[in-house]
Amino acid sequence: MGVTVIAIIDYDAGNIKSVEKAMSLLGQEAVVTRDKETILSADKVILPGVGSFGDAMEKIRQYGLEPVIRQVAGSGTPFLGICLGLQLLFEESGESPGVPGLGILKGKIVRIPESEGRKVPHMGWNSLEFPVKGRLFHGLSGEPYVYFVHSYYLEAADEQIVTAVTEYGVRIHASVEQGNVFACQFHPEKSSDTGIHILKNFVEL
């Protein structure tokens, strides 16, 4: 595996360090940046994120990153959204009514319903099923376990882009792929060997 320059978009999000660490574990050169030229010249781009949808969109707009993210998404450069980074790619979230998301992909983010014995946020390991085996999951068999931390989940408008689902009282669209745009609701960087396998697949795209 050759060294790839990976830009990790810095908009003051929570899980940037762990993503950077996972990349260096894979022997990749990761640059945490909000510099437009650096992002646009990278071989791969990652949009991480932990926190609130509204706050994150405010930061992305404040730092002038929205047009840059759109440009990457339209350029053919492999792009990966992680956790909140998945949610931001869609049109809207029930967490922050009235705040438009990036709208690069069609769908909405809705709150996980609470019920007896099921806590929200959903924290912990859940198994994935693959309605369509996306490129991120190449070489994984069975129903591998990955690590989730979230209170809101994706309902994609087009189920054709959904490459992994999980159950937590509701059917959660856990990963999507459309062209060069990939995203995971779970944290591959915290999902042990399975997660590193997924990130390695992304790096090798």
- Work out the end-to-end distance of the chain between its first and last CA atoms, rounded to an integer number of angstroms: 11
Distance CA 28, CA 98 (A): 38
Tokens found for residue 121:
């946020």
Pairing of strands 29-33, 44-47: unpaired
Q: Considering 20, 83, 177, 184, which one is annotated as catalytic?
A: 83
> How far from chain centre, in Å, is Cα 41?
20
CA-wise closest residue to 73 among 160, 178, 175, 187: 178
Q: If 0-12 CB within 10 Å is exposed, 13-18 middle and 19+ buried, where does residue 183 land? A: buried
Q: Is 184 a catalytic residue?
A: no
Q: Considering 66, 95, 187, 204, which one is annotated as catalytic?
A: 187
Residues taking part in catalysis: 83, 187, 189
